[in-house]
Structure 1
């Protein structure tokens, strides 16, 4: 081999390879070309060595091909920031509750459910006119609640609201309750049977505490025995009652009420020796300076030792923002705030319950979100769902 040819071969072996696109196919072609060139270089070196030429030092092997970066979808680490915010764009990974808003394809009387995942009463966002109550079963079928048509609730001043409340569906998804003036209606969703319980008052509130049914008018809370129809009063405001954990103690009830520095967590306990009531002020020391809860709204929901409830909050210099607070049910310490900002309709973001370690809440306009306070992960469940919702515990 002549010296000129040997020089060209060595130059070719040392050339840097620059693929036009870093795709897997391009990198594979580049690796094959490198192997051919290295083989040629080795042959040239062998010729030089055999002819007594100077020993050449080949350049180091090329580094491994880079991997294509991927978009991070990992769940944030536990112990996330105590004040959190939703992402600008929500991801909707799919959920059984995503069937909410699907067309009604059956009636409850003709096809009772094994278990209901949710009750939904659509409301036209333009006119405010509500539709009929629907039942989403665990089979994904949306049914019309055709066995009864509850009337609107009303208070002593004549103010009206749709009959479906966030606490209407029992935690096991088998019963639905509707407060009415002078009565409470309970529907057995697994048999489509309806029962009416007479109870005096302009009843508006209804929620389940295990097997107990709590019903309230403007300022009185009744506990209803569904077997006998007997009632007794509970010394807690029906507006402030927290829906208990279905797996928790059945002799304790919690309430959250008050404004700003006067927000209080109340525990009411009934025992064989009587009843006991204890009040504890809300504790904000776990939050960064400048963050606080101004006032709660909607229904509070307990899971284990945590309570989640919608609130108007202060974050930094912004007062009156929409948000959700999570607090310790034993101590009253607020451990997490979800800051939803002020660019929303007032009272937009009611909490509807827990799904495992996640809080389910409304998201104006018309959406439903899942928020995991421990990690900060926030995902969408369903879009554009206008109306009232009641969810079973999952």
Structure 2
């Protein structure tokens, strides 16, 4: 219907309305608005349909073969841990050029005067060439007045009663293994107590108010408060020095080296790092040392690592057994030049990041955060044995 025809219909209708103001114009406007709304509604519907069609085209997945269902993968790709960082120490002749690490421990032990008393904490115990054991302090060394015999093994071999783990971590107590007993000295008040522990006791490891006493054939846990001794379900020299009752067990070539604590264990994978892929379990003086969530121990290096004979210090995460950093220590021209028969043993920690390592007649500090190597102390030839406190 045209607009002209619609106007004629409105005019005819207006003639039938009662008299009054003419409504033809108003009716015309209303009709025009209805037709406009109809056109906008139709346009909106068309636009909506078009949008849905376009969206459907844009969001539709790629066509797949009929009968095949594709599911997203729910198995994450396992993360491969990076290999541990490996640092290399300079040759023994280059140690003198290393920077000095400032610590409370005296740097030159040979020059410490012998005194009857001196204030300050005990920083180390040391047996000098005169056969006496001294308390090392920053102002001098004080003789330890206690009667001790040699530490003897089941084969009758004797040795000094001063072991690397003799001094308690806080420097207030010292323990010495003897045949059929352990002698414990309070270094603050000078009190000496003797605890009966049967057998050839060779190693003591501090466990807070208790001592783990190691023998080749048996291990005992000694409660210092009660004097009670409890035999452990293991034997030998696998204990780790530190604050936890950790053990490093290495069954030998082809076996698994593991960290153990109670009934829990985790593999320590050192197969391509150490000689025969194990740790020197059963070697006196080469215990592991724990600090926080880490443990450090040295061993002979694997043949594939260096071009010459060397030791390697391994630092691993206790919870996972993952090796986090290593330090290679080449022996030099002769084994006696640096590591000798005992190897470059770990001797403790300074704080949470620095491992103390024995290198011949010198103590080195290895920062496992930066890899930096420093000199901590120089030991005179007359020092037969020593034990450091914890920091």
TM bin, normalised by shorter chain, reads 0.5 to 0.7
| Structure 2 residues not aligned, in runs of 5+ | 1-81
1:76-109 superposed Cα distances (whole Å, 9 cap, x missing partner) = xxx99711112333222443321533344223xx
Out of 83, 87, 104, the residue aligned to residue 84 of structure 1 is 87
Query: Is contact 2:248–2:259 with CA below 8 Å preserved after alignment?
Result: yes
What SS class does the counterpart of residue 301 from structure 2 fall into?
strand
C-alpha separation in 2, matches of 1:339 and 1:388: 24
Aligned: 1:348 with 2:343: yes
Judged with a 3 Å threshold, the aligned counterparts in structure 2 of structure 1 residues 234 and 140 are, in CA distance, closer, same or farther, namely: farther
**TM-score normalised over the length of structure 1:** 0.67
| Cα separation, 1, equivalents of 2:209 and 2:318 | 21
Aligned pair partner of 1:258 in 251, 255, 261: 251
CA distance in 2, matches of 1:230, 1:93: 42
Q: How does 1:68-217 map to 2 (within 5 A)?
A: 82-87=85-90, 88=94, 89-97=97-105, 98-107=107-116, 111=117, 115-123=121-129, 131-137=131-137, 139-145=138-144, 147-217=145-215
> Which of the pair is proportionally richer in strand?
1
Q: In the alignment, what sits opposite 2:389?
A: 392
1:359 maps to which residue?
Answer: 355
Q: Is the 2:259–2:318 Cα contact (8 Å) retained in structure 1?
A: no
> 1:206-244, CA deviations, whole angstroms, 9 ceiling, x for partnerless residues?
110122111122121111111221100222434110113
CA distance in 2, matches of 1:259, 1:342: 23
CA deviation after TM superposition for structure 1 residue 263, in Å: 4.4
Matches of 1:202 and 1:113 in 2, distance apart?
A: 36
How do residues 205-244 of structure 1 correspond to structure 2 at under 5 angstroms? 205-244=203-242
Larger deviation: 168-177 or 92-101? 92-101
* Cα separation, partners in 2 of 1:332 and 1:229, compared to 1, 3 Å: same
In structure 1, C-alpha distance between the alignment counterparts of 2:118 and 2:202, rounded to whole Å:
26
Aligned residues: 288
The 3-state SS of whatever aligns with 1:390 is: strand
Tell me, yes or no, if the aligned pair for 1:216 and 1:222 is still in contact at 8 Å: yes
- 3-state SS in 2 of match to 1:295: coil
How far apart, in 2, do the equivalents of 1:263 and 1:104 lie?
Answer: 48
1:339 aligns with one of 312, 328, 336: 328
Offset, 1:342: 3.5
Aligned residue number for residue 47 of structure 2: none
Contact persistence 1:294–1:320 (CA under 8 A): no
1:375 aligned residue: 370
TM-score (norm 2): 0.67
